[in-house]
Amino acid sequence: MKPIDFRSDTVTRPTPAMRRAMAEAEVGDDVYGEDPTVNRLEERVAERLGLEAALFVPSGTQANQIAMGLHCRPGDEVLTEAGSHIIQYEGGAVSALWGIQPHPLPGDRGLLTPEQVAEAVRAENIHAPRSRLLSLENTHNRGGGTVWPLERFREVVEAARKAGLAVHLDGARLFNAQVAAGTPAASWARLTDTTSVCFSKGLGAPVGSALAGSKALILEARRLRKRLGGGMRQAGVLAAAALHALEHHVERLAEDHAHTRRLAAGLAEMTGVKVEPARVETNILLVEFARPASEMVSRLTALGVLLNATGTHTVRLVCHLDISAADVTEALTRIRRALES
């Protein structure tokens, strides 16, 4: 039985064309700035995001954490939505690495309002941390792949600017947002001080992310990358995969979104399943089962359908490069079998 893996869009394998690009990559020592493939990738990312410069890093977590270190000092505070990746999935790094206090705000499927931001910024007071940074996420993972409407994003950023905050965008799945909304990634990124993007999620590269911003910020980001052990030397073999992904795998994200909508529509027809197909925007689907999520994960794993529990009755399914239309059809058959047994 072929496993169908919906756990994350990080489980993809490099395509044959991507492997060829990696094998043929021209390399040098990136810590010395001498890897031509890394340099080309960083230039391409900066162009795509409408920012001055970019830095190739091993992971999305490192990209986000470098941004935290750039914008805040120990005792400062970062405002962010309560379900954001920097709070939920980065091992407490904002506090452990930088001494930053997170200020979580309750969002609507991961989205905030300008009023929330304005109200959350602290007045100058020796008893309180200084509010320094607003960190946003697009698409929003725990929100179910939610895309920030550009005008709402602009209004929230403007509220942060009025309060004197810097703005970081965790754009791990920003190209999913671009494809879903028909809006260039730069439209969001240009409004920020720093934006991160990930190559190892929907774009299908085996490893790597990038952080973009001004030339001055990215120069300092190189120092922080070194401090965190992120200097990768002959990293062109990895950058080549990311370049291939940027050139060949962005538009195809629409296939993942279509597969997710079809998965949601099929699940909505089943008894004991609660899902909202109309709320599917990208490649992430949140599903609530009448049975406990742990039980459903176990039943489905036995049937070769892999997914993650995200709550007592809630699971997450993510479509990606290695999920085909036939896989969606087969997965729906297996899920129905699990529910009926």
Task: Note whether 269 and 332 are same-domain residues.
Answer: yes
The tally of domains found in the chain comes to 2
pLDDT, tens digit, for every residue of 226-250?
Answer: 999 999 999 999 999 999 999 999 9
pLDDT band at 82 (very low <50, low <70, confident <90, very high): very high
pLDDT at 106: 98
Question: Is 3 domain-assigned?
Answer: no
Task: Note whether 85 and 56 are same-domain residues.
Answer: yes
Q: How deeply is 308 buried, as exposed, middle or buried, from its count of CB atoms within 10 A (0-12, 13-18, 19+)?
A: middle
Domain coverage including residue 270: 252-340
Q: How deeply is 94 buried, as exposed, middle or buried, from its count of CB atoms within 10 A (0-12, 13-18, 19+)?
A: buried
Question: Is 11 domain-assigned?
Answer: no
pLDDT at 303: 96
Task: Note whether 84 and 200 are same-domain residues.
Answer: yes
pLDDT, tens digit, for every residue of 315-328?
Answer: 999 999 999 999 99
Question: Is 7 domain-assigned?
Answer: no
Task: Note whether 109 and 222 are same-domain residues.
Answer: yes
pLDDT, tens digit, for every residue of 94-119?
Answer: 999 999 999 999 999 999 999 999 99
pLDDT at 1: 84
Q: Is the pLDDT of residue 151 over 90?
A: yes
Question: Is 2 domain-assigned?
Answer: no
Q: Which of 229, 248, 267 is the last residue of a domain?
A: 248
Task: Note whether 53 and 184 are same-domain residues.
Answer: yes
Question: Is 270 domain-assigned?
Answer: yes
pLDDT at 285: 98
Provide the CATH number for the domain around residue 47: 3.40.640.10
What is d(CA 216, CA 211) in angstroms, rounded to the nearest whole number? Answer: 13
pLDDT band at 54 (very low <50, low <70, confident <90, very high): very high
Question: Is 215 domain-assigned?
Answer: yes
**Distance (Å) of CA 26 to CA 31, 87, 171, 199:** 15, 37, 28, 19
Task: Note whether 213 and 196 are same-domain residues.
Answer: yes
Task: Note whether 238 and 268 are same-domain residues.
Answer: no
pLDDT at 289: 97
The structure tokens 């405002």 sit at 79
Question: Is 1 domain-assigned?
Answer: no
Task: Note whether 235 and 293 are same-domain residues.
Answer: no
**Distance (Å) of CA 10 to CA 198, 205, 207:** 10, 9, 9
Taking all residues of the chain, what is their mean pLDDT, rounded to a whole number? 97
pLDDT at 41: 98
Mean pLDDT, residues 287-316 taken together: 96
The structure tokens 């999920």 sit at 323
Task: Output the six-digit token pair for 256.
Answer: 């993942």
Q: Is the pLDDT of residue 222 over 90?
A: yes
**Angle formed by the axes of helices 236-248 and 36-49, to 10°?**
40
Task: Judge whether 119 and 152 are in contact, CB under 8 Å.
Answer: no
Task: Note whether 327 and 262 are same-domain residues.
Answer: yes
Q: Which of 248, 267, 297 is the last residue of a domain?
A: 248
**Long-range residue pairs from 218-222, CB within 8 A, at least 24 positions apart, any chain:** 218/52, 218/53, 218/54, 218/55, 219/53, 220/70, 221/55, 221/66, 221/67, 221/70, 221/194, 222/55
Q: Is the pLDDT of residue 341 over 90?
A: no
Share of the chain above pLDDT 90, in %: 99
Task: Note whether 283 and 241 are same-domain residues.
Answer: no
Stronger pLDDT, 98 or 340, i.e. the higher one: 98
Question: Is 4 domain-assigned?
Answer: no
Mean pLDDT, residues 185-213 taken together: 98
Task: Note whether 241 and 267 are same-domain residues.
Answer: no
Task: Judge whether 187 and 169 are in contact, CB under 8 Å.
Answer: no
pLDDT band at 144 (very low <50, low <70, confident <90, very high): very high
Q: Which of 215, 248, 281 is the last residue of a domain?
A: 248
Q: Is the pLDDT of residue 281 over 90?
A: yes
The structure tokens 């990209």 sit at 63
Q: Which has the closest alpha carbon to 318: 174, 63, 144, 186?
A: 144
Q: Which has the closest alpha carbon to 320: 4, 3, 2, 12?
A: 12
Provide the CATH number for the domain around residue 281: 3.90.1150.10
pLDDT band at 11 (very low <50, low <70, confident <90, very high): very high
**Distance from the Cα of residue 83 to its chain's centroid:** 13
Task: Note whether 234 and 262 are same-domain residues.
Answer: no
